Amino acid sequence: MSFNVEEIRAQFPALKQEVNGRPLVYLDSAATTQKPQAVIDAIVHYYQHDNANVHRAAHALSGRATSAFEDSRRVTAEFLGCANPAQIIWVRGVTEAINLVAASWGRSNLAAGDKVLVSAMEHHSDIVPWQLICAERGAEVIPVPVTDDGEIDLQALEALLDEHVKMVAVNHVSNALGTINPVQEIAAKAHAVGALCMVDGAQAIAHWPLDVQQLGCDFYAFSGHKLFGPTGIGVLWGREALLEAMPPFLGGGEMIDRVSFDGTTFNRLPFKFEAGTPNIAGVIGLGAAVRWVQGLDRGSAEEHEQLLLRRCDELAESVRGLRRLGPERNRVGVFSFLLEGTHPEDLGTLLDQQGIAIRTGHHCAQPLMSRFEVPGTARASFSLYNTMDDVEALFAGLAKIQEFFA
């Protein structure tokens, strides 16, 4: 089955607009993806018809809202290859998921002398929560080096692993380089010394189908807004026994069983970790996004995205002074680069004037930028709705900028 990108694009209203008098070329999907009409409709439908709080009232609207809310949990569990929806915890996004695990699991499992390994290509969201909890517990965060090609140095990881390591936290795909990390192998290495492995799936989730059981990790997190869903909603998946043993993260409504001044008991999974009124519209929108993705031919979508990246690489070869960061092959979604004589920030502005949206800067990965001794990069990122014309427009835009500075 061939992949019909025009049919896909037609479902994304935000892509049909002009910016600065030019048709929008959206190359910032690693920051956030655009939303298909199906997701927008699901959110509007909820607010127009079913708006009510979940799990509480005895009335019809609350019943409908609760059933849509829990249905989203079921489809999301299925989407991740997880048989038990109670292992799907709604959070605001990857950032909150990692903070939840660091605070809840970390506070009860880390002690002085323990180590948490994080790769040097992590997003700040997968560094700072571990630094906070390690500082509190007297434990240490140790970076795992990155090779010149922009891959996690597996030999160095091996050398760092010992019985003091309690957690290995890595991203599945680097947001700054696009590197696809061998998380299955990393999880196995972590387990061999008795450590756990948490995977930040922010940049992987939209690109290919995945199965958390097969990956063998202990926690997996993603954000809805990187999967064509709304902002402010995301997922933490964890192994049931670990989640059961972990204390609550936030206290409040929903997460309790019984409250008394003699002692409070907590709700069962997943509600133990879902204090307060949740982002109901967000959950419903995310469920719609998951269903939308499930309706795609994902193999063809993946192939299409790879062709876009290959074309970028081809065109980049003839651009004077262009330096690309990240591995040659083992990469998805991201074309991260520098152009001699032009600051990445200026590149971003000048491309925007031509209707081309990219991201510039350190991409919340300052240790990685230091590793490559660059202040930041320009990053064009791709999703399944991008076309070969988008790639051509990017390189035509760069040529214009080079002419301007010549």
Q: Which residues carry out catalysis?
A: 364
Q: State in angstroms the smallest separation of the CB of 204 from ligand PMP.
A: 9
Query: Two tokens at 62?
Result: 């609350």
Identity of the residue, 127 or 391, whose beta carbon is nearer to ligand PMP in the bound complex: 127
Distance CA 390, CA 25 (A): 6
Choose, by CB under 6 A, the member of 134, 141, 202, 393 that binds ligand PMP. Answer: 202
Residue 72 as a binder of ligand PMP (CB under 6 A): the answer is no
Considering only the stretches 123-131, 135-143, 242-250, 275-283, report the one whose residues sit in contact with ligand PMP under the rule CB under 6 A. 123-131
Choose, by CB under 6 A, the member of 34, 76, 95, 383 that binds ligand PMP. Answer: 95
Cβ 17 vs Cβ 394: under 8 Å: no
Length of the chain: 406
Distance CA 343, CA 358 (A): 14
Q: What is the DSSP letter of 153?
A: -
Query: Two tokens at 136?
Result: 């509190």
Residue 125 as a binder of ligand PMP (CB under 6 A): the answer is yes
Identity of the residue, 360 or 387, whose beta carbon is nearer to ligand PMP in the bound complex: 360
Residue type, 246: M
- Cβ density class 293-315: b for 16+ within 10 Å, e for less: beeeebeebbebbbebbebbeeb
3-state secondary structure of 381: strand
Choose, by CB under 6 A, the member of 34, 66, 171, 381 that binds ligand PMP. Answer: 171
Q: State in angstroms the smallest separation of the CB of 97 from ligand PMP.
A: 8
Considering only the stretches 129-137, 190-198, 200-208, 373-381, report the one whose residues sit in contact with ligand PMP under the rule CB under 6 A. 200-208
With 0-12 CB in 10 A as exposed, 13-18 as middle and 19+ as buried, what is 209? middle
Residue 200 as a binder of ligand PMP (CB under 6 A): the answer is yes
Q: State in angstroms the smallest separation of the CB of 282 from ligand PMP.
A: 12
Q: Which residues contact ligand PMP (rule: CB under 6 A)?
A: 93-95, 123, 125-126, 171, 175, 200, 202-203, 223, 364
